[in-house]
Amino acid sequence: MAAPSNKNGLCPAPFMQEDLFPPTGGFLVGRWCEQIPSSQGRNVSCCLPCPQADWRYPDGFMEKTEVANWIAVVVFSLNCLMLLSFAVLPVKWTHRHYLSVCLALGIVFMELSFIVPLAAKPKECFNDITPNDMKSDLACAFSGAFIIFGGWAVIIWSFCRALSLHLQICWDVVPGKRFFYTTLTLGWLIPAIGLAVGLAITGTSYRFGSICHINHDHSLADFWGPLMGFAAAALVIQFVTLVYCIHVYIKSLFDNNPSTDNSSVLPSYPGSVRTVTARQAYRRIKRVIQLQWRGIAVVLAVIGNVVFFTVIFLSLDNIAKRTPEQTAKAKPWILCLVLSKGDKTKCAPQAASQGPNEASIMAVLVLLALSGIWTLLFLGRFSMILGWIDLIKRRIIRSKEFVSADARNGSSSRTYEMINPSRKDDVKSPDPLLFSSPDHLSMSTFRFSGSKGEAETYTREVKYTSPALSFSTPRPPSATHHANSYHRYGSSREWNPQSTFARSGQTGPYWYPDSNP
């Protein structure tokens, strides 16, 4: 129960008179104020003390929300370890792709919004009735910016993954360099624009808990609306792709073409999907889905979470708007607080209509903190652990090895071979590729060598030169035809019998004595 003080002014406890707090800073729009009749018979603007969530929810509930911050620390660390694995380990362990890397980076930005309050320990209120915003608190500015930018990045890169999969399955188009550079530019430019617009028009402030969220004024137009637009587009593309896969599968069941039963080779000419049979299309789609099912799952999980977040935050925005409907809805709760002298436990039933309940708030915070768990489950692989073990073993083996160029151990110099360091073409290693698969390397140029336990090396393949008198390789038809013509009809050119081991003293065509010419 709150005792009256000089800050209450003409307002009944626990409310405070707004005129006693001049607008010098903080988020002024975030004040929760109502016109309440005073003892002098006139209406006075009375405000609920800050933070407002302490009056709406039970004691100790806001402290429980810090669990989400610590969950975010764990998920953030695991995502950073996954990104480090993408950067350090070979592709055969991580199966990295730039769409996966960028999506994980967006998750990392979202997790940072939970870590900033743990480090900064910010003050939620500017004064007794005014919450802080991004202009009055630096930690609020950073946490709000991270969550807005990270949310935009996650949705945009989920859309890019859905579009890439749709092009491969439905249109048989393999995204190339143009798609790579376009998505890499727009995938980070759109979140930057969304962040700039959101901060400039709407801004962030402390709504509940220690994390700053976007304000309710104009948020539907500059943040939630466009964000849900991209999320809906990604969902539509994903479902169209799945429907097409189901259609191809059903069509392949009724395909009785025997020419496709034992053949898995697709046409090599640049044709459309119509040029392949139903079973060939099904096999192609099956291979793509086997490689991309993780991307499908993470897109659906992330977009499902975003839809849930949007519903909860929009309901909070509707409660925060001081409309006549909301004022009439809040009157029973306000009267209860006035009559009970600020005892919120007696007014808990009336407070239930003032926004989401504790379970919904806790769920949205925990799910926000767990957003990165989906990338770990679907983009992380057990082979990454094996890759780190292999990398550590190689480091240990290399540190224990000692190789001397002059150590011959009494053996002849012909028993070993050393590469001449002056020749740069003897050994050639490909450039490390972070955002692409090594499938583009030509096997005619490089040959993978090395047994189990040895380091991976790419050495130039030595071209075999056939000897002049070798008959182990087939002769071209033109050369064979020329030789037959030569033996059959002779030639006017001078012939050297020693070059073919023939009997000397003969010219022109020859045959054995017992053979019939």
CA angle 313, 319, 320 (to 5 degrees): 90
Looking at per-residue confidence, does 13 or 483 come out higher? Answer: 13
Decide if pLDDT at 28 tops 80.
yes
Q: Is 70 exceeded by the pLDDT of residue 430?
A: no
- According to the model, what pLDDT value does residue 44 have? 85
> What's the pLDDT score for residue 262?
42
Res. 341: pLDDT tops 60: yes
Q: Tell me which DSSP letter residue 499 carries.
A: G
C-alpha span between 144 and 148 (Å, rounded): 6
Give the whole-angstrom CA distance, residue 26 versus residue 124.
Answer: 10
Domain 66-255+272-323+356-383 class, CATH top level = mainly alpha
Residues with Cβ within 8 Å of 188's Cβ and at least 6 positions away in sequence, in order, are 102, 153
Contact partners, residue 255, CB within 8 Å, separation at least 6:
277, 278, 279
Distance CA 145, CA 148 (A): 5
Distance of CA 338 to CAs 4, 14, 64, 324, 330, Å?
Answer: 11, 7, 28, 20, 12
Give the model's confidence band at 426: pLDDT under 50 very low, under 70 low, under 90 confident, else very high: very low
Once rounded to an integer, what is the mean pLDDT over residues 311-333?
78
In this structure, of 60-64, 170-174, 204-208, 388-392, the range with the lowest mean pLDDT score is 60-64
151: amino acid identity, one letter: G
Helix/strand/coil for 427: strand
Q: What was the pLDDT predicted at 469?
A: 55
CA 112/CA 263 separation, integer angstroms: 51
- Decide: residue 320, CB within 10 A, 0-12 exposed, 13-18 middle, 19+ buried: middle
Least confident piece of the model among 230-234, 257-261, 324-328: 257-261
Lowest-pLDDT range, 16-30, 94-108, 410-424?
Answer: 410-424
Q: Are 155 and 231 in contact (CB under 8 A)?
A: yes
Query: Residue range 498-517: average pLDDT?
Result: 46
On the question of pLDDT at 32 being above 80, the answer is yes
3-class secondary-structure state, position 214: strand
Residue 436's pLDDT is: 41
Position 447 confidence tier, pLDDT thresholds 50, 70, 90: very low
Higher pLDDT residue, 421 or 183?
183
Phi, psi of 476 (to 5 degrees): -60, 155
Look at 511 and 170; give whichever has higher pLDDT: 170
Give 498's contacts (C-beta < 8 A, 6+ positions apart): 504
**Which tokens belong to 85?**
């694995």
pLDDT of residue 465: 57
Sign of the dihedral defined by the CA atoms of residues 33, 39, 43, 44, in that order: negative
233 has pLDDT over 90: yes
Q: Are 132 and 126 in contact (CB under 8 A)?
A: yes
Alpha-carbon gap, residue 363 to 64, rounded angstroms: 12
pLDDT > 50? residue 490? no
Which whole-number Å values give the CA distances from 496 to 259, 309, 475, 505, in the listed order? 55, 91, 21, 10
Q: What is the pLDDT of residue 230?
A: 94
DSSP state of 95: -
CB 155 within 8 A of CB 303: yes
pTM of the shown model: 0.71
What burial class does residue 406 get, using C-beta atoms within 10 Å of its C-beta: 0-12 exposed, 13-18 middle, 19+ buried?
A: exposed
Query: Distance of CA 322 to CAs 19, 95, 221, 338, Å?
Result: 18, 52, 19, 19
In tens, the pLDDT along 360-384 reads 888 888 888 888 898 999 989 899 9
- How far apart, in Å, are the Cα atoms of 410 and each of 413, 417, 418? 9, 15, 17
Please check the confidence at residue 215 and state whether its pLDDT lies above 50: yes
Strand bridging mode 16-17 / 212-214? unpaired
Q: How far apart are CA 132 and CA 146, in angstroms?
A: 17
Find all residues with CB under 8 Å of 298, minimum gap 6, and list them: 103, 158, 161, 374, 375, 377, 378, 379
Q: Which of 209-223, 242-256, 423-437 has the highest mean pLDDT?
A: 209-223
- Note the pLDDT of residue 134: 94
Confidence grade of residue 320 (pLDDT, cut at 50, 70, 90) = low
More confident call, 421 vs 96:
96
pLDDT above 90: residue 188:
yes
Dist. CA 25–CA 206, nearest whole Å: 14
Yes or no: say if 159 and 129 are a contact pair by the CB < 8 Å rule: no
Q: Which backbone phi and psi does 486 adopt, to 5 degrees?
A: -65, -45
CA dihedral 227, 230, 232, 237 (to 10 degrees): -160
205 φ/ψ angles, rounded to the nearest 5 degrees: -160, 170
Instruction: Say what the pLDDT of residue 85 is.
Output: 95
pLDDT value for 387: 93
Q: What pLDDT score was predicted for residue 208?
A: 78
133: exposed, middle or buried (Cβ count in 10 Å: 0-12, 13-18, 19+)? buried
- What does the DSSP 8-state code read for residue 370? T
Sign of CA dihedral 373, 379, 383, 386: negative
The CA R_g of the chain, rounded to the nearest whole Å, is 37
Report the pLDDT value the prediction gives residue 106, as an integer from 0 to 100. 94
Assign 407 a pLDDT band (cuts: 50, 70, 90). very low
**Segment 62-98, tens digit of pLDDT:** 888 889 999 999 999 999 999 999 999 999 999 999 9
Least confident span in 88-92, 188-192, 231-235, 268-272 = 268-272
Note the pLDDT of residue 330: 83
